[in-house]
Amino acid sequence: MKKRILFLIGAMLLLLWTCTPIEKRQELGAKVPASSFVFTVTQDPDSDFILYLSNKTPKVFFSWDYIWGTSLKQEDTVKMLVHGSYTIRITGETAGGLVYDSATVNVTMSDPTAFQQPQWGYLTNYAVGKTWVWDDRQPYPWGNGGFQGCYAPCWWDVSMSDLAGRGVGSDQMTFDLNGGRHLTLVAATTPTQYVGTTQGTFNLTFGVTYPGWDVGMLHTTNVTIINGIQPNYGNSVETNFYILKLTTDSLILSAPEPGAGAWGTAWFWMFKPQS
């Protein structure tokens, strides 16, 4: 009987031991301080808009944000598209976590191969900047219509007085290429996320998606255009727009509702330069 009791106790202890989780912790390594980073950001002596990025920090992986783009290469050559003072933001991935640093460069020359399409100048006036407002020469500067079919609001349309009643009639947006692709929105009421003055970035891509309808795309980041919302989807912010027209004195944009096909519902925005 005693042997049986001892056997049972031993079996229970073995069972408890086998069921006890074994926790193996892998401690993080030390966080390398920015003061220990070994890197250079140098400029080409003949073309100072060309930058050479180099990270020599042992066991630290760099990502570079140079305003005009980002790079994950530890040795890279990048171009600053227009002249200006730039802060290169560096994120170092160390054993103990992320560490941040930066470097500042002053660029006196612009990349002659950048922004050769005249539309860049139409939209931004380059480094000077260009402010756009609702095109009050049109009877209905905003509204909806057929995607890939209409070239302006042609179903439900909104006049300048109605836009004023919505609180967006005096809103404005400024595009510039002064040290980056900047878009500054001044909004009174809508979108609610961007009431006040908000600065983000933008990009233009050229090439027709729908022949005879669009001429390219406008993309925004961390901001949108005047009244850049999808009204039938909770006034969600829209950031991708088809360019239907872009000249020195007219900007017409359109964005379809999610999932819209040809002649589905799209929204249209019509702007002119601020006088």
**What is the per-residue pLDDT across 231-260, written as a single tens digit (0 to 9) for each?**
999 999 999 999 999 999 999 999 999 999
Task: Identify the domain boundary among 85, 107, 129.
Answer: 107
Average pLDDT over residues 177-185: 92
CA–CA separation, 270 vs 181, rounded Å?
Answer: 21
What CATH code is carried by the domain that includes residue 225? 2.40.128
| Domain identity same for 144 and 171 | yes
Model's pTM, two decimal places? 0.77
| Domain identity same for 216 and 252 | yes
Q: How many CB atoms lie within 10 A of CB 77?
A: 12
Banded model confidence at residue 28, pLDDT cuts 50, 70, 90: low
| Bridge-based pairing state of the strands 251-256 and 130-134 | unpaired
The residue count of the chain comes to: 275
Residues 6 or more apart from 119 whose CB is under 8 A from it? 204, 206, 216, 243, 246
Half-sphere exposure of 253 (CA within 13 A, CB side): 25
Nearest to 269 by CA among 128, 173, 125, 167: 173
Domain that residue 169 falls in: 118-273
| Domain identity same for 250 and 149 | yes
| Domain identity same for 70 and 129 | no
| Domain identity same for 147 and 63 | no
Average pLDDT, the chain: 91
Q: Are 75 and 85 in contact (CB under 8 A)?
A: no
What CATH code is carried by the domain that includes residue 90? 2.60.40.10
Higher pLDDT, 2 or 128: 128
| Domain identity same for 258 and 156 | yes
Domain total for the chain?
A: 2
Tokens of 28: 């993080």
Q: Is there a domain that residue 2 lies in?
A: no
| Domain identity same for 101 and 236 | no
Nearest to 258 by CA among 155, 167, 163, 147: 147
Q: Is there a domain that residue 50 lies in?
A: yes
In angstroms, how far is the first alpha carbon of the chain from the final one? 104
Q: Is there a domain that residue 48 lies in?
A: yes
Q: Is there a domain that residue 29 lies in?
A: no
Q: Is there a domain that residue 28 lies in?
A: no
CA–CA separation, 36 vs 203, rounded Å?
Answer: 36
Q: In degrees rounded to 5, what are phi and psi of residue 94?
A: -105, 170
Q: Is there a domain that residue 126 lies in?
A: yes
